[in-house]
């Protein structure tokens, strides 16, 4: 193993200014070796970080980010920035509980001045910092690094328009690697039909031979009053330094267009065009192969859902799938291979994806809008205004519900129940396992097709996949009893049913019998069963790996108040707080969703002795 002590000793990037160009190149090689070595053990965002090493070194060489301001859009390109600002020694804790965040984190360093996890926010923040600077009559430089498909986000384009109008001095680095997670969906970017400039970092000669390739980009930025330079080779440190020196004193908003290779230095990542190496677990750095996990024989929840959709789509030509740049993440790549004309990756554009899906549904198609819970937040207005208000029937496949483990608070899928539940014309369901997942999905498409929006939730993680031989009907809004009991009722759904069974087993040894209910319909609730439960006068416990305020438990309390029931109710959910990254067990423990904590709380309820 190589010795990286010299990187561990870095505490401030000011040392860069004393290095020659050759030594800067040497440093870039050392950082690339360090990242490949370190990430092979911890996992993380591999490709995006390997692609911006030279750029980050050049930025810290030219600017002083103790005074100047640097924002990475999305934020998953910040690893070299963290190394240069004194955090290399913490990389063994990357994305772990109480460890180093995989994104910029203000509490980690004064060099992290804006936190990013979702895309397309950096330009708005950069303009605000430029406006604030001019109000205060200070002179710091403001730099935004935007790439990995983030320019396709509507918010970025809104900010560009405002930047062009305000004409504040700031610098936008457009990191063009032709990728989002997988291939970029962006009509603004030039298509590489004539040269190999996107196939190699040695692109300068090719660019000079074919200046027409960047004409559309230059014309676009100049049309909104932005100074444009480039494109240049984003792995050539000398070219980057020369360009930054020329552009840094321009008194109006400027764009520097650079060409980089996502995953540079790791051959498997460089050759990945479907997103397999965007964010991964541990891997063998010598072979470039991923290390098989304990779940290697299981199927990701996203695969269970997408494979069921494929099965149904073979017989139903009206099924189409929509994804906002998450074809790989939502496990839709196989669906896309089989049904390319029925798969629409719209780029990083959740708002557009929602409205597009809703309008497709009005044409007698069966669109399924695949989106992570954390990204559905970005389409909230469209869900209300464009879809629910018109009472359009649309299935939203809400992936990665619950804690997001290594990605942390920017990605936890814990708010969707609370923000969707108040909306009219919307239902929320969550299957308990992969068998029920298939049956519920079938029913959502064919038996609940006139129920407005159906939010079909499922978690991250893995399960066995056994294809059901045929689909069975499930009554809309119905719950099922998992265990009978007379002393207490637990109402829960999805993965938390396993926790309920653990609680059941504990109290069974104390001769206390607990009824467990699979409340698979979060909205509407099974009111007939609820009345029976409340009339039994048993205490009621609700459990959800989701926001407590406005969530499923809140709905149970609302039902009790409406019908004047007096039963004791204990609501377990995620409290009013943000939680950083970590493994599921620790995240559940600090949020009060671990079995031991809930057992202690339940012991104090009426009738439980």
Domain assignment present for 195: yes
Check pLDDT > 60 for residue 606.
no
**Residue 284 neighbours by CB distance under 10 Å:** 11
Domain assignment present for 292: no
Residue 386, CB half-sphere, CA atoms under 13 Å: how many? 18
Token pair belonging to 594: 């671990």
Helix (H, G, I), strand (E, B) or coil at 221: helix
The set of residues, in sequence order, having a beta carbon less than 8 Å from that of 23 and lying 6+ positions away, is: none
First to last CA, the chain: 58
pLDDT at position 287 is: 73
Domain assignment present for 85: yes
Report yes or no: 552 and 455 within 8 Å, Cβ to Cβ: no
Cis, peptide link before residue 493, omega less than 30° from 0? no
Q: How many angstroms separate the Cα of 456 from the Cα of each of 294, 436, 441? A: 27, 12, 8
Domain's final residue, options 400, 432, 463: 463
**pLDDT tens-digit series, residues 546-583:** 999 999 999 999 999 999 999 999 999 999 999 999 99
Q: Which residue has the tokens 């629910």?
A: 388
pTM > 0.95: no
Range with the lowest mean pLDDT among 294-303, 415-424, 437-446, 564-573? Answer: 294-303
**Strands 171-176 and 69-72, sheet pairing:** unpaired
Active site residue 270: no
pLDDT at position 192 is: 44
Q: Which residue has the tokens 């090493």?
A: 53
Q: Are residues 490 and 414 in the same domain?
A: no
Check pLDDT > 60 for residue 609.
no
pLDDT at position 487 is: 93
The strands making up 319-323's β-sheet, listed across from edge to edge, are 343-345, 319-323, 366-372, 394-401, 453-459, 426-429, 521-523
**pLDDT tens-digit series, residues 188-231:** 655 543 333 333 334 444 444 445 445 688 899 999 999 999 99
Task: Exactly one of 82, 378, 400, 548 is catalytic; name it.
Answer: 378
**pLDDT tens-digit series, residues 24-64:** 999 999 999 999 999 998 988 898 999 999 999 999 999 99
Check pLDDT > 80 for residue 165.
yes
Which pLDDT band holds residue 464 (cuts at 50, 70, 90)? confident
Task: Exactly one of 105, 262, 336, 548 is catalytic; name it.
Answer: 262
CATH number, domain of 235, equals 3.40.50.970
Q: Are residues 121 and 195 in the same domain?
A: yes
Domain assignment present for 469: no
Asked whether the CA dihedral 374, 379, 380, 383 is positive or negative, the reply is negative
Check pLDDT > 90 for residue 526.
yes
**pLDDT tens-digit series, residues 84-134:** 999 999 999 999 999 999 999 999 999 999 989 888 999 999 999 999 999
The DSSP output letter for 407 is G
Which pLDDT band holds residue 183 (cuts at 50, 70, 90)? low
Helices 434-446 and 301-313: angle between axes, nearest 10 degrees: 40
pLDDT at position 202 is: 42
Domain assignment present for 472: no
Residue 373, CB half-sphere, CA atoms under 13 Å: how many? 30
Residue-number span of the structural domain to which 406 is assigned: 299-463
- Of residues 440 and 47, more confidently modeled: 440
Domain's final residue, options 260, 275, 290: 275
Active site residue 527: no
pLDDT at position 188 is: 64
Q: Are residues 140 and 37 in the same domain?
A: yes
**Strands 426-429 and 366-372, sheet pairing:** unpaired
Q: How many angstroms separate the Cα of 574 from the Cα of each of 381, 405, 454, 531, 592? A: 24, 14, 23, 26, 7
Check pLDDT > 70 for residue 587.
yes
Which pLDDT band holds residue 285 (cuts at 50, 70, 90)? confident
pLDDT at position 22 is: 96
What DSSP element (H or E) covers 458? strand 453-459
Q: Are residues 393 and 512 in the same domain?
A: no
Domain assignment present for 475: no
Domain assignment present for 174: yes
CA-CA distance, 406 to 279, in Å (whole number)? Answer: 10
CA-CA distance, 547 to 552, in Å (whole number)? Answer: 9
pLDDT at position 277 is: 79
CA-CA distance, 571 to 548, in Å (whole number)? Answer: 8
What DSSP element (H or E) covers 435? helix 434-446
Report yes or no: 100 and 580 within 8 Å, Cβ to Cβ: no
Q: Are residues 407 and 508 in the same domain?
A: no
Q: Which residue has the tokens 């965002």?
A: 45
Average pLDDT value for the chain? 90
Active site residue 532: no
CATH number, domain of 596, equals 3.40.50.920
Q: To the nearest whole percent, how much of the chain has pLDDT over 90? A: 77
Q: Are residues 157 and 26 in the same domain?
A: yes
Cis, peptide link before residue 524, omega less than 30° from 0? yes
H/E/C letters for each residue in 418-484? HHHCCCCCEEEECCCCHHHHHHHHHHHHHCCCCCCEEEEEEECCEECCCCCCCCCCCCCCCCEEEEC
Q: Find residue 290's DSSP bridge partners.
A: 283
**Residue 346 neighbours by CB distance under 10 Å:** 18
Q: Are residues 127 and 92 in the same domain?
A: yes
CA-CA distance, 121 to 551, in Å (whole number)? Answer: 28
Q: How many angstroms separate the Cα of 9 from the Cα of each of 81, 108, 313, 606? A: 15, 17, 56, 58
The strands making up 488-492's β-sheet, listed across from edge to edge, are 480-483, 514-518, 488-492, 540-547, 569-574
What DSSP element (H or E) covers 119? none
Q: SS3 breakdown of the chain: % helix, strand, coil, rounded to 5?
A: 40, 20, 40
Range with the lowest mean pLDDT among 172-181, 303-312, 341-350, 475-484? Answer: 172-181
Domain assignment present for 388: yes
Q: Are residues 484 and 459 in the same domain?
A: no
pLDDT at position 463 is: 81
Q: Are residues 456 and 487 in the same domain?
A: no
Helix (H, G, I), strand (E, B) or coil at 44: strand
Q: Are residues 307 and 384 in the same domain?
A: yes
Q: Are residues 341 and 448 in the same domain?
A: yes
CA-CA distance, 121 to 403, in Å (whole number)? Answer: 23
**pLDDT tens-digit series, residues 357-377:** 999 999 889 999 999 999 999
Report yes or no: 53 and 28 within 8 Å, Cβ to Cβ: yes
CA-CA distance, 216 to 42, in Å (whole number)? Answer: 41
Check pLDDT > 90 for residue 245.
yes
pLDDT at position 172 is: 97
pLDDT at position 185 is: 64
User: Where are the extended beta strands (E) located within 497-595?
Assistant: 514-518, 521-523, 540-547, 569-574
Domains in the chain: how many in total?
Answer: 3
CA-CA distance, 472 to 470, in Å (whole number)? Answer: 7
Degrees to nearest 5, angle at CA 176 with 174 and 178: 150
Q: Are residues 492 and 544 in the same domain?
A: yes
Report, as an integer, the average pLDDT of 14-23: 96
pLDDT at position 203 is: 44
């Amino acid at each position: 193993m190589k010795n990286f002590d010299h990187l561990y000793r870095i505490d401030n990037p000011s040392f860069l200014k004393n290095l020659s160009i050759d030594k800067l190149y040497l440093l870039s090689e050392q950082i690339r070796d360090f990242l490949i070595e370190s990430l092979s053990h911890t996992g993380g965002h591999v490709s995006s970080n390997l692609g911006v090493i030279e750029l980050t070194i050049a930025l810290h060489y030219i600017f002083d980010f103790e005074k100047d301001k640097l924002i990475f859009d999305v934020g998953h390109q910040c690893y070299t920035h963290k190394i240069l600002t004194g955090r290399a020694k913490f990389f063994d804790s990357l994305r772990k509980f109480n460890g180093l965040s995989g994104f910029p984190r203000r509490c980690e360093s004064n060099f992290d001045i804006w936190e990013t996890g979702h895309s397309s926010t950096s330009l708005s923040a950069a303009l605000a910092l430029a406006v604030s600077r001019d109000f205060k009559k200070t002179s710091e430089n403001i730099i935004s690094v935007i790439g990995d498909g983030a320019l396709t986000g509507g918010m970025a384009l809104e900010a560009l328009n405002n930047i062009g109008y305000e004409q504040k001095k700031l610098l936008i680095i457009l990191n063009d690697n032709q990728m989002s997670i997988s291939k970029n969906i962006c009509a603004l970017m030039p298509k590489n039909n004539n040269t190999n400039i996107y196939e190699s970092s040695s692109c300068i000669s090719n660019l000079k031979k074919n200046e027409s390739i960047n004409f559309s980009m230059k014309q676009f930025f100049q049309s909104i009053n932005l100074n444009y330079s480039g494109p240049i080779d984003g792995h050539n440190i000398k070219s980057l330094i020369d360009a930054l020196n020329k552009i840094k004193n321009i008194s109006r908003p400027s764009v520097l267009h650079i060409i980089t290779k996502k995953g540079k230095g790791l051959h498997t990542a460089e050759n990945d065009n479907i997103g397999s190496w965007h964010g991964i677990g541990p891997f063998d750095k010598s072979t470039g192969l991923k290390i098989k996990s304990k779940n290697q024989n299981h199927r990701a929840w996203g695969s269970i859902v997408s494979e069921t959709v494929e099965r149904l789509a073979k017989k139903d030509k009206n099924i189409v799938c929509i994804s906002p740049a998450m074809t790989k993440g939502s496990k839709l790549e196989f669906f896309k291979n089989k049904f390319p004309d029925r798969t629409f990756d719209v780029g990083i554009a959740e708002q557009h994806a929602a409205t597009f899906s809703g309008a497709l549904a009005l044409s007698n198609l069966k669109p399924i809008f695949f989106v992570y819970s954390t990204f559905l937040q970005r389409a909230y207005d469209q869900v209300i205004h464009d879809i629910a208000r018109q009472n359009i029937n649309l299935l939203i496949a809400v992936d990665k519900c619950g804690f997001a483990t290594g990605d942390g608070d920017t990605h936890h899928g814990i708010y969707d129940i609370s923000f969707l539940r108040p909306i009219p014309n919307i239902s929320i369901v969550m299957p308990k396992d992969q068998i029920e997942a298939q049956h519920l999905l079938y029913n959502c498409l064919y038996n609940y097709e006139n129920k407005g929006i159906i939010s079909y939730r499922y978690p991250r993680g893995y399960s066995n996949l056994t294809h059901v031989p045929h689909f069975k009907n499930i009554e809309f809004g119905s719950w099922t009893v998992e265990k009978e009991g007379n002393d207490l009722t637990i109402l829960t759904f999805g993965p938390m049913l396993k926790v309920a069974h653990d609680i059941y087993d504990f109290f069974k040894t104390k001769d206390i019998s607990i009824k467990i209910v699979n409340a698979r319909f979060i909205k509407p609730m099974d009111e007939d069963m609820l009345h029976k439960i409340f009339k039994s006068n048993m205490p009621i416990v609700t459990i959800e790996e989701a926001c407590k305020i406005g969530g499923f438990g809140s709905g149970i309390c609302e039902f009790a108040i409406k019908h004047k029931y007096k039963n004791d109710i204990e609501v377990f959910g995620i409290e009013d707080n943000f939680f950083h990254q970590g493994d599921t067990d620790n995240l559940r423990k600090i949020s009060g969703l671990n079995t031991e904590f809930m057992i202690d709380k339940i012991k104090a309820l009426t009738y439980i002795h």
